[in-house]
Structure 1
Amino acid sequence: MRIRAMVVAGMAGIGLGTAATGQAAPTREMVSASVFDDFLERAVESTGLPGVSAVITHRGEVVHAGGYGRDSAGAAVTERTPMRVASLTKAFTAMAVMIAVEDGVIDLDRPVVEQLPDFRTGDSRSDRITVRHLLNQTSGLADSTVDIRATESVDSLEQYVATLRTARLAAEPGTRWAYSNVNYNLAARLVEVVSGREFGDYLRERIFAQLGMSESALGDETLHPAQGFNSLFGRWITRRELPGLLDASGSAGVITPAADRGRWLISQTGSGPQRVTEENLTVMHTPSPVRDYGMGWGLEPADAARC
């Protein structure tokens, strides 16, 4: 099941709320660069959204990328404006793991503890968590059973794993879906251990550089991303960014502009440069048995003729 036969939730751009604008979304026949620009410009104006960037790909090509509104410094948002993509990072982490699988240094179906010996919890059931469980968000780990405050006070993925020693499982591995950053930070640490590289370096060398994503990185030490905003009682206020590791983690740390995101999307459709085989790309885009969630991607069935 290739991704072009599915709708992938959340990667078309950075925020596009049709319902909030009161405008009808353009149909496939209507879409052109000018129509798309007009639609998003009106969306920004009608919602008060400070700024947004978006990209359209079609049949292996970026057909349009643009920016709308302004960032927190007052600069115009463009297709080159670095944006924090938050939890869309998880798809990059899943790809990093799958590259390591093809390198023969990670096994999706072996227990994590056999590949990441430092991983221990206060629940013996965690010995049965596999790497596949992590990526499918079916490990049994949940935010409600982990000391989240402790995980937010660390400076490295190694330290992050150590904070999980008192964690409990909310369910038997593989039986229940629970969205948690913990799964993807564990996966990122596993990549570090088997590769001998810091996770940000691994993403740069094995994904960003190979796909031509020259303006993308993990964390903001080399990039200066646009400041984010939150809506509070109808007003947009500057958002305080996450400290330390959380800004450069396997769950939420990627920074990338719309122009680079187009290259990433093309790779996900099986077009352009590829980082993994078509078979493994399909594995990443296949829902788990318990939820319509693949590996870093929320999935829902779609009319293939529309994709």
Structure 2
Amino acid sequence: MAPSKDRQRKLARAKYDRQLARRAERERRRRRIWAGVGTGLALVLVVAGGAWIGGAFDSDDSTETTAGDVCLWTPQNATANTDLKEVGTPPTKDLPETGTETMTVTTDKGAPIVASLDVASAPCAAASFSFLAGKSFFDNTECHEITADGALRCGDPSGTGNGGPTYSFYDENVPAPAPSASAAPSAPVTYPKGTVALVGNPPGSNSSQFLLFFKDFSPAEPIYPIIGQVTSGLDTLTKISKIATVENATGDKVKPKEKITIQSLTVGAAAASAAPSASTES
């Protein structure tokens, strides 16, 4: 689990970035006002504009986060990226920070894939998935890639690799680089088979897209934050991994030749009641 001070620094940085963006927009507005006003209002606007830019009317101008903040969500521009889907944002306070939650991914390829989400290590990722699942964000969407790294990539309603909700959040629980094979031949696998991880576009800007690893993967530089582990349904994931792939729009041979549809994705109590009993698949 990331230290709480670490998370608070990230929250403060995200808040500070938003404040800079707001101040830049206020400056643009001030210049437009100056261009259109008469000289008789100049003195008034100097005083009001100075207070405005100085933050006198800004009710949220501190870089400190409040004690109750667990996560902050960075807005994304849906006008600039039409693949994004507006569903609102999760709350920032009173979010779970301990324990686990159950995520159930029901596809058209067999038994549901059930995973345990590590709330303690990735509270914001878990909160985001719970929020989006409650909005039926993932339902009737396609898993658009079977990656060369050995994972099924899902969670983008647009199927382009650029889609998601209109917010993002920072990395949590990115594993440390694995030692070289010569230095530690028995070193643990970075992303073992069954790992559930986030994939950001660009890396570090996470939203709804996730990876379900169907084989072990140990990159030299890990970039995927781990959110949980599959507890049942690995046979379904193995079956999906055997689907042939063709080139996608960017020329990478990762697009499944056969559609892989998420019929529903649930998190929490609803997922636990719907999930079959865990198996001992390998």
Higher relative contact order (Cα pairs below 8 Å, separated by 6+ residues): 1
TM-based fold match above 0.5: no
Larger Rg: 2
Higher helix proportion (structure 1 or 2): 1
TM-score normalized with structure 2 length: 0.23
Higher strand proportion (structure 1 or 2): 2
